Structure 1
Amino acid sequence: MIARQAIVNSQQSIVGYELFNRSRAPYGHTAASDVTLIFTALSHAGEEDLVGTKLMFVNCTHESLSGDHLDLLPPDKVVLEIPPLGHAAVSEVNARLPQLQSLRARGFHLAFNQTVLESAYTAWRPLADYIKLDLSVLAPDQLTVLVKFANRHSQAELIAEKVENAQQYQLASSLGIELFQGFWFARPTVMQTRLLTPSQKSIIQLITLAREQASTETIEEVLKKDAGLAFNLLRLINSAGFGMPREITSFKQAVMIMGTKKLYRWAAMLLTASRESGAPPAVGQTSVVRGRLMELLSVQSPSDIDADQAFVAGMFSMLDRMLGIPLQSAMALIPVPENVAAAVLRQEGVLGELLTLAQACESHDNAACNEIAQNLQLNDRQINCAHLQAVAWTDQVAVESL
């Protein structure tokens, strides 16, 4: 569960969303809950994006600011909200300064609350891209003084937060504040996030291979054996943060672009955020068997069928059941070649016939199986052997992961 609240400008156009983790552990806001929030935002597979192209404001703990998960974020799209240090001494503030300077140098935007205007935080002030002023605790005369001080001593844009009525908005606006957040504009909306969670065993296997800098082919094999891993990686690699000039549709390309270092960090974050909920394991296993069966048959058919595309079509043909949303919406979440989409959504083309054949094998529909087999110039022996190999290959995955 993630809540988001819009941050708007003076024309009431949305410039960003602040995200809140509504599924936190009883221990509250921790470095682990930060990782979970960011992973969920990156991997959300619902019909509506959490932030779209807007800025993403993320509350952080100081512990999470050094986390590897930040390497997976597009810095220019992210605002890290830095908490104060309580009753901080200047020495404590200065000790945190190098880390904040490093984040800023990497391209992240930094936001602070009004505490940064206190003398103890003078060293942080030049790093502020945004300063939030809490109207629920600031009297009008205090707000006036702070706005004037902030304008003189920082280059930050000011955000009036917790704006709950017209009078507060008018006051903030009259003081020159141009960004606003609060109930007067929009209440936080809670979104039921959808994640396709891989098995933890698969994630650990991927972490091990990435740490050992295994070959691209070896890592690709792991991805092909877990629909959750494959889906999440394609979602990430095609996100705005990677800025790919074209869509990446193959697992091999995704692994090569990510590199083992980032792949390791992503898998570690995935392990931290993974949950036991999600699609029943049998659904994911069936999708892998289906993909492998289609891959094996594509090689044996005289028809011109790309084996990799056959595997992708089979593996992702059950995304609707895995995500709990319509298949068309699910397929729209990841880039696939047009013939793969046509096969999965409408059973069109040679890939569509191959997918129908795989489904007929699963349901033991011999009549349909024989008819399609003739079209693809495949015989019963080829189909039966391929099906047995696909099941054995998938079962072997579970054994290797133990």
Structure 2
Amino acid sequence: MSTTTDSPTPAAASPEANAFIGRQAILNEHREVFGYELFDRSVAAFTAASDAALLFNALSYAGAEALVGKKLVFINTTHDGLAGGHLELIAPEKVILEIPALAEGANAYDIAARCGVFASLKERGFRIAFDQHVLSQNYASWLPLADFIKLDMLSIPAPQLPAIVGFAQAHTKAQVVAEKVETQEQFESMKALGVKLFQGYWFAKPDVVQAKTVRPNQAAIMQLLNLVRNQGSTSEIEDLLKKDPALSFNLLRFINSAGFGLSVEVTSFRHAVMILGLKKLFRWAALLLTTSRGSDTAPAIGQTAVVRGRLMELLATELLSKEDTDNAFIVGMFSLLDSMLGIPMAVALEVISLPQPVRDALLHKTGVFAPFLELTLACETGDDSNFARLAEALHLSNHQVNWAHLQALAWAETFSEMG
């Protein structure tokens, strides 16, 4: 896959692409990305029609196969949406269907009547996730069919969680997912109970200490970024890389990765400059920050930063100049700079040379890149009205946003195992 700024719009748009796709990461106990929940951000969400559209969009767009090949995909569905040809488009072994409880007042007979449909889906290779309702007596018939049980941390009182988790572990073979995790404390408490999957973006919230310093490996990358950004001589940059063989190795490894798509192997930094130029090389040096983490930093932060950078780049392609599109990538990548470095954003930006519009977007959410950054962040949140407003303000269609979003997720996968 090339890193050139491909258009966010594929050649042939699907007429069924009528849903905005949102995502939220699901992490394992090591805070690595285990999978993604994809959900419909459209006004017509949670209808059978929007279910079909979401499934079609998520798994038939170019680039989605690469995403599904690496990570599990959790998809919200409705009971009506479980029937239909759109399920035939999906590679079932990589898809978890999130199925809600029935409407309030449903009796045990109505609930048990759904088991045949669920069993059929499992025979086809799908896995099923239920929410905490499946642990109640009325839903006992569903319990043996659960592969995942999602516990809402906002709706379950904390004192009840040990008993609920214990019941799920004792009476099912399902994996428990703690969702809507908002703090490190919640993560640690659920992990202590034996929960191994967590959903939410608490891990991306900067945990900064004013006196904290940048780690040595990160300081070397920051020095490299400044040299490249300030058009330092090739010999100056080579001298830095010679002093840090690991940095040199990792930079060449990124450049020669599948994500770059070069037809020849780059064997030295001087060779890289000849082929790419310093401006293009800056982005690849920036990517090194996503893997230069300490033991206290979630690996998912780096992958999220890569997704944001690529998504911003693709969204900006048709609306900004080539140079601004390159800078949009940097804005998205560095939107988590404070979390990656463990220092406040203002302090982080003091030690790296960046164009003023990039700094304005990161520090003040102003300037040409701010709307693209806001939309990129909105892809990760539950504020549907804000999401729609931001997309409309940029005159981007749902199809363009979805295409860019899925391409960014797939592209980030080419670097997910390089840390």
TM-score normalised by length of structure 2: 0.44
